[in-house]
Chain A
């Protein structure tokens, strides 16, 4: 149980809050350049001076205490602390380049009666733009310490630490200059504050007035939760109605007064019109209707090509390491069930997943670079008009693009959207975005049925083209689903679009590498736990029960062969008998029976019972599909000497239907990939949607519509392919 005092870190999105947090704590947290990237409340323990610990809480970025999104609500509620313990102090980070907007939040927070410190960040950028802020005058006017700093370079961090120490010692609350309010609104605030006084015995007059203003702006007549006091509610609603009928705009009166207070400080000096900045020059190209769109398409193409090509050397290394380990252990462990469990269950299962780490790392790194550079916000600007045609907000692009990596963080990233309906819409549609867990499946299938390195149109490889098509299909499906859901289940008004475009910034390796590492770690931990457990389970399901009659029959056949044949002929005969026995035993196993039972439903899609087993196991997590197939085919061919060194791909290619035709035709491969693009095969996504929506209704809807869509689409693809005779071998 920690009793360390709590200090909150507040500020506008992009003010450099997270950088300040990292510099203070040494923790490598996410630093985004997209408004509202800090979705969760993060905190860290910090030793200010020997033996003096504090708890530093990094609040989500917010422009105002009048919250417009769940994220801002988190920040506002932590600062108001109507329920629960109040913090011991607050640091407000202000971006000196947009000083006035940052000071709006400072002005609001300064009235809460919390000890406060202003961290005036990015002073170097401001000076470069001809803007200077007199920090000592600012400190004097607000009665709080002001620390000018350049957080990215670590300048001012020591001063900030010292300031925190003295803030905790003196507990001095700010004394902001009076808000220049008209007498009418001033009187109304006093009236509400008087009603609040008995309910807030420990507050001072300033904080009661601040709460009065906040209630006037945000009180929801239908929702009693933000003010439980009946008399106060009645008074606020009465004043609001009166103002409305008098044609007054209370919002305008309050907000204008606050900006007048800030401008009246006279601490900001701007030189004559600053020259055109490089960030504007970049923007005039990158947000250009034509060049901007071309650039965007190029960036996306590079992303896909790099996943496919750059990762290959790394994958080869991992592949070789796994094979080497298996070979070594096969000499150490005696042949039998234990060897099968370890080599074919454990090592192969995890290995089949580990091999995709390079691709996942590259994808996460690229998304992260786009985010940190500020380009992602431009994409939202460019794409808002198009997103709106399917009922989505331009900002929904960020969770959707994150959906390429993993639906779980993407679902959580929908918190940047302020309206419940927009959030639900994005959440229900985004699992159709092709996440990284599908990548192993695509790569396996593409590598099996296509000549992945053969060039198409001379510029792009066949493999990259097939991969790109799957991603394009997933985008199309997502947008269509959003459009349909938004017109049916989630009918409602379209929201608004208010988005800050942060200046372009050079992404920093210090924040890139740990972020990629943590993503990869999450993936590998999944591989290490869920996937390992499922690999072993699947190996068990595939190995048991055994049919003793079959074993006896093959034992007899082997003995007979030993008598009749010699040399290499005998070896061949024995290994083919082993392989045949395993194939038959697998059909008798629990998994084989389930796969067989559902095969009639899968054959019209071009899948046999083995793929059926893979699909069943993939409902736990998609990437399990690959390791399951590894086990299914590994067991089938493990008795063969040369087959032991064959890759899974070769085994898939060799697999035949009972009538002798190939299972993995290009057509079946495409149907399978289409199924994986569209099916909701991820327990984690379902769990996180349940958590974010608070009900099973939405995850149930998501699971059902996606599964039906996946089945019907794969059916359509395969049947059309059969009808026109394409891709049959």
Chain B
């Protein structure tokens, strides 16, 4: 039981080392690993085809610039900004999206 709980904690958003976009420009990461204010260019949208199809249809196609705006309380879901609008997806879906050419913007406010 305790082992299980600790494992859950380790996987949680708070303890996971987050990638600071400043230091790894040109490298790639999964979308859920980005800090709020960071962004990059979509490389691939994986996961279940029904989900990935809709994400791509909403403009999250390879080559699109996307920024992470914020995570909700408890670190999930995540709010993204792309093509002039705001989109929320769950962390599990974000983890299926690979991002390259990471960069950092000034966070909102």
Contact = CB atoms under 8 A, between A and B. Distances in A.
Give the one of B48, B88, B93 with max A CB within 10 A.
B88
A468 interface: no
Of B62, B73, B89, B105, chain A has the most CB atoms within 10 Å of the CB of B73
A554 interface: no
Given A255-B53, A381-B72, A384-B77, A281 B84 contact: no
A251 B62 CA distance: 12
A255 B61 CA distance: 7
A343 B70 CA distance: 61
Nearest to B76: A385
B25 interface: no
Nearest to A218: B53
Interface stretch (A23-31, A446-454, A496-504): A496-504
Contacts of A287: 70, 72, 79
A500 B54 contact: no
Contacts of A283: 69-70, 86, 108
Interface in B27-78: 45, 48-59, 61-64, 69-70, 72-77
Given A64-B54, A256-B56, A384 B90 contact: yes
Given A499-B88, A500-B87, A501-B86, A385 B58 contact: no
Contacts of B83: 98-101
A381 B76 CA distance: 9
B84 A284 contact: no
A498 B59 contact: no
B85 interface: yes
Nearest to A384: B77
Interface string A594-638: 000000000000000000000000000000000000000000000
Interface of A: 63-64, 66, 68, 97-101, 104, 129, 131, 217, 251-252, 255-256, 259, 270, 273, 276, 280-281, 283-284, 287, 289-290, 292-293, 380-382, 384-386, 394, 496-501, 503
Given A217-B53, A394-B88, A497-B89, 4 more contacts: A66-B54, A101-B84, A276-B109, A382-B73
A251 B69 CA distance: 27
Contacts of A501: 79, 85-88
Interface of B: 45, 48-59, 61-64, 69-70, 72-77, 79, 83-90, 93, 105, 108-109
A64 B90 CA distance: 21
A498 B78 CA distance: 10
A281 B108 contact: yes
Contact of B51 (A66, A101, A290, A498): A498
A5 B97 CA distance: 45
Nearest to B90: A497
Contact of B59 (A100, A129, A273): A100
A104 B57 contact: yes
A251 B108 contact: no
A385 B84 contact: no
Contacts of B79: 287, 381, 501
B93 A385 contact: no
A253 B39 CA distance: 24
18 contacts: A64-B54, A66-B57, A68-B54, A100-B59, A101-B58, A101-B59, A252-B56, A255-B57, A259-B64, A287-B79, A381-B77, A381-B79, A381-B88, A384-B90, A496-B51, A497-B89, A497-B93, A501-B87
A376 to B, nearest CB: 13
Tell which of A104, A394, A496 has the most Cβ of chain B within 10 Å.
A496
B58 A63 contact: yes
B54 A384 contact: no
Contact of A64 (B57, B74, B109): B57
B56 A385 contact: no
Contacts of B109: 276, 281, 284
Contacts of A97: 84-85
A654 B64 CA distance: 72
A386 B83 CA distance: 29
B77 A252 contact: no
A540 B57 CA distance: 62
B52 A385 contact: no
List 7 A-B pairs, minimum CB-CB distance, nearest first: A289-B73, A98-B85, A501-B86, A255-B56, A64-B57, A385-B74, A251-B53
